């Protein structure tokens, strides 16, 4: 069985930040990722609040961090995890059993769905979670964003520059996004906000979204629906203490299990952002480095 001082699960900004600190301290690490380095960053169109960059595309920032981490030659494994045994410090993936001394959980969170009929089969066929990935496919078309917080409003702003018409469907009567985003939205001419509305049905044609039905029975023709209605933490694999699925940590980002840390968007916290996720990864790593120095 391969053994590592620290295994990091998840290669978003939190996991990669932890990796940079650990490798610079000469600690033997493995990063396990079951998708693409950068995580949710790859879905962000433009980042304007990460220090050091006035404005940067999410994928570019993800690649910058990935390249920085790779300059220290960490071990990477791109595979699914099938079991996590926190009592015996063993991770099983589709091809390996791996032993660790320390574990950092940095698996982030995923987008919520509406749970309506036929939703699963329409994902990728007119239902998307990523405006920056899929928006260009709907140039000069009509699209709909569902939600009213920062992601929804940012998505609508991005899509307003590409699409002919953008609807925002929001179940409350006032957007929850930052003021600056609301101000930008007010300056657009092709975004229409429908407040106090919920989608009750997807109407499809040839296995693709054609329209949506709302709770007032109104039907809106739309070529794509972008869901931006919240998140579910990717914490199911881990038998640690949680609050509403988010992992509970202390000030050092330790969970209730010995030598098991968690950081980034998978933990319970107040601010789910890049700058917090990066710093949490660094603090978790620093704890491991300090314990290693003490011989713990
Ligand atoms: C559209 C959008 C725009 C945003 N804009 C901004 C912004 O402007 N400014 C800002 O500060 N923040 C923004 N955010 C939030 C920011 O992207 C997140 O806070 C941040 O990326 C969280 O980083 P993370 O490393 O905790 O998680 P993630 O980025 O989610 O990374 C987690 C990683 O773990 C992997 N993973 C999950 N489960 C497993 C598993 N079982 N095995 C192996 N790997 C696994 C995932 O594939 C992923 O790569 C935005 C988010 C979105 C979606």
Which residue's alpha carbon is at the smallest distance from atom 38 of ligand 1?
107
Q: What's the pLDDT score for residue 123?
A: 86
Note whether 283 and 263 are within 8 A (CB).
yes
Residue 18 CA to ligand 1 centre (angstroms): 14
Residue bearing tokens 């520059």: 161
Note whether 255 and 105 are within 8 A (CB).
yes
Residue 122 CA to ligand 1 centre (angstroms): 23
Quick check: do 2-110+231-294 and 113-227 share a fold?
Answer: yes
Q: What are phi and psi of 263, to 5 degrees?
A: -155, 165
Note whether 38 and 65 are within 8 A (CB).
yes
Q: What's the pLDDT score for residue 46?
A: 79
Our mutation pick for probing the ligand 1 site, out of 40, 55, 274, counting the most ligand atoms within 8 A of Cβ, is 40
Q: What's the pLDDT score for residue 159?
A: 97
According to DSSP H, which parts of 83-178 are helical?
Answer: 119-122, 131-134, 150-160
Spell out the domain ranges in the chain.
Answer: 2-110+231-294, 113-227
Q: Is the CB of 82 under 6 A from ligand 1?
A: no
Q: Which residues of the chain have pLDDT under 70?
A: none
Taking CA 279 as the corner, what is the angle to CA 22 and CA 230, rounded to the nearest 5 degrees?
Answer: 120
Domain 113-227: homologous superfamily in CATH = FAD/NAD(P)-binding domain (3.50.50.60)
Q: Is the CB of 280 under 6 A from ligand 1?
A: no
Of 32, 122, 19, 47, nearest to 275 by C-alpha is 47
Task: Please state whether beta strands 127-128 and 109-111 pair in parallel, antiparallel, or not at all (unpaired).
Answer: unpaired
Q: Is the CB of 18 under 6 A from ligand 1?
A: no
Q: Is the CB of 49 under 6 A from ligand 1?
A: yes
Which residue's alpha carbon is at the smallest distance from atom 5 of ligand 1?
44
Q: What's the pLDDT score for residue 133?
A: 75
163 is catalytic: no
Instruction: Tell me the CATH number of domain 2-110+231-294, given options 3.90.660.10, 3.30.70.660, 3.30.230.10, 3.50.50.60.
Output: 3.50.50.60
Q: Is the CB of 84 under 6 A from ligand 1?
A: no
Selected catalytic residue, list 87, 134, 224, 263: 134
Q: Is the CB of 234 under 6 A from ligand 1?
A: yes
Selected catalytic residue, list 75, 133, 155, 296: 133
Q: What's the pLDDT score for residue 59?
A: 92
Alpha-carbon distance 52 to 103, whole Å?
30
Query: What is the model's pTM?
Result: 0.86
134 is catalytic: yes
Buried b (16+ CB within 10 A) or exposed e, 49-76: ebeeeeebbbbebbeebbeebeeeebeb
Which residue's alpha carbon is at the smallest distance from atom 41 of ligand 1?
81
Residue bearing tokens 């053994």: 3
Q: What's the pLDDT score for residue 140?
A: 97
According to DSSP H, which parts of the chain are helical?
Answer: 13-24, 58-70, 119-122, 131-134, 150-160, 179-186, 274-294
């Amino acid at each position: 069985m391969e053994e590592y001082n620290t295994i990091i699960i998840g290669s978003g900004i939190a996991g990669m930040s932890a990796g940079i600190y650990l490798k610079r301290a000469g600690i033997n690490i493995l990063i396990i990722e079951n998708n693409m380095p950068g995580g949710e960053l790859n879905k962000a169109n433009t980042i304007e609040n990460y220090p050091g960059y006035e404005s940067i595309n999410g994928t570019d920032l993800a690649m910058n961090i990935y390249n920085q981490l790779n300059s220290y030659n960490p071990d990477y494994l791109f595979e699914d995890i099938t079991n996590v045994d926190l009592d015996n410090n063993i991770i099983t993936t589709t091809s390996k059993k791996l032993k660790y001394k320390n574990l950092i959980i940095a698996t982030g969170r995923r987008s919520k769905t509406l749970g309506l009929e036929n939703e699963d089969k329409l994902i990728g066929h007119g239902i998307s979670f990523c405006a920056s990935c899929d928006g260009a496919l709907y140039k000069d078309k009509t699209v709909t964003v569902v939600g009213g917080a920062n992601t929804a409003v940012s998505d609508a702003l991005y899509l307003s520059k590409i699409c002919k018409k953008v609807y925002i469907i929001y179940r409350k009567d006032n957007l929850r996004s930052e003021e600056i985003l609301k101000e930008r939205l007010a300056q657009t001419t092709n975004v229409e906000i429908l407040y106090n509305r919920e989608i009750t049905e997807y109407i499809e044609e040839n296995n693709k979204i054609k329209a949506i039905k709302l709770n007032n029975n109104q039907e809106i023709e739309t070529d794509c629906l972008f869901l931006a209605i919240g998140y579910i933490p990717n914490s199911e694999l881990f038998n640690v203490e949680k609050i509403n699925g988010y992992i509970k940590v202390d000030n050092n980002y330790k969970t209730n299990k010995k030598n098991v840390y968690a950081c980034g968007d998978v933990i319970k916290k107040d601010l789910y952002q890049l700058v917090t996720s990066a710093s949490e990864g660094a603090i978790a790593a620093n704890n491991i480095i300090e314990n290693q120095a003490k011989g713990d």
